[in-house]
Amino acid sequence: MLKVTDLNISYGPIQAVKGISFELGKGEIVSILGANGAGKTSTLFGILGVVPAKGEVRYKGEPMERKTPKEPTEQGLILCPENRRIFPALTVEENLRMGTFVRGNFKQNVESVYGLFPRLKERCKQEAGSLSGGEQQMLAVGRALIAEPEVLMLDEPSLGLAPVIVDDMFRVLESLKERMSVLLVEQNATKALSISDRAYVLQNGVIVHSGQAAEMLKDDNLRKAYLGM
């Protein structure tokens, strides 16, 4: 579904991503792991064209133009960003409608989102800013899903959530591979690897390790050296 080759991203003299390459297959969950500042978010932004990037991005086998972030979104690459970025003054339902601004059909997809996150249906007329942190994260993921992604990119979906909410969130994410491919950026390596098929570890903008997620979970040296586990 997605093949990234020799991706380079710089902010002035600082090179944040240094020639990384990776793939995401159909129906896979692939994680990009690493500490703060490793280049994970920059990688997602480079794929979408949010920041200038050098290198090739191929989507479903074809080179992708990334002149504006709208073009990948129209083709089905949907980002659920870090820190949620919901519209706090709008209701839950209105936020979900905003997810279909470029792609997707609200009427066709809203019940599917509510099925994954029943709390959102209960609070559909409530202002998003009054939701708990966990409910806001559900809303952010739901807003991305309502746009009918073929590739869903998630940036730190567990950030700041209580453990019980994290468990619920990852159960939902694991269920999505039946419908789409998922590229997951996470610091919670244990949770990410537990639902992933494969993973890449970023350190200082370079991929320092990659492999099958199940094998990486068993590798004590890798866990201690790079994953903080």
pLDDT digits (tens, 9 = 90+) for 113-163: 999 999 999 999 999 999 999 999 999 999 999 999 999 999 999 988 999
Helix pair angle (133-145, 163-175), 10° resolution: 10
Is the confidence at residue 227, as pLDDT, over 80? Answer: no
Rounded to a whole number of angstroms, the CA Rg of the chain reads 17
Residue 90 and residue 87: Cα distance in Å, rounded?
Answer: 6
Element (H or E) spanning 19, and its range? strand 14-24
Residue 55 and residue 39: Cα distance in Å, rounded?
Answer: 15
Residue 77 and residue 94: Cα distance in Å, rounded?
Answer: 22
Residue 141 and residue 130: Cα distance in Å, rounded?
Answer: 17
* The pLDDT of residue 229: 63
Are 3 and 58 within 8 A, CB to CB? yes
pLDDT over 90 for what percent of the chain? 86
Is the confidence at residue 10, as pLDDT, over 80? Answer: yes
* The pLDDT of residue 168: 94
- Report residue 2's pLDDT band, with 50, 70 and 90 as the boundaries: very high
Residue 105 and residue 122: Cα distance in Å, rounded?
Answer: 21
* The pLDDT of residue 74: 92
* The pLDDT of residue 180: 97
Residue 115 and residue 70: Cα distance in Å, rounded?
Answer: 28
* The pLDDT of residue 222: 82
Are 33 and 190 within 8 A, CB to CB? no
Structure pTM? 0.93
Across 117-205, the runs of DSSP E, i.e. the strands, are 151-155, 181-186, 198-203
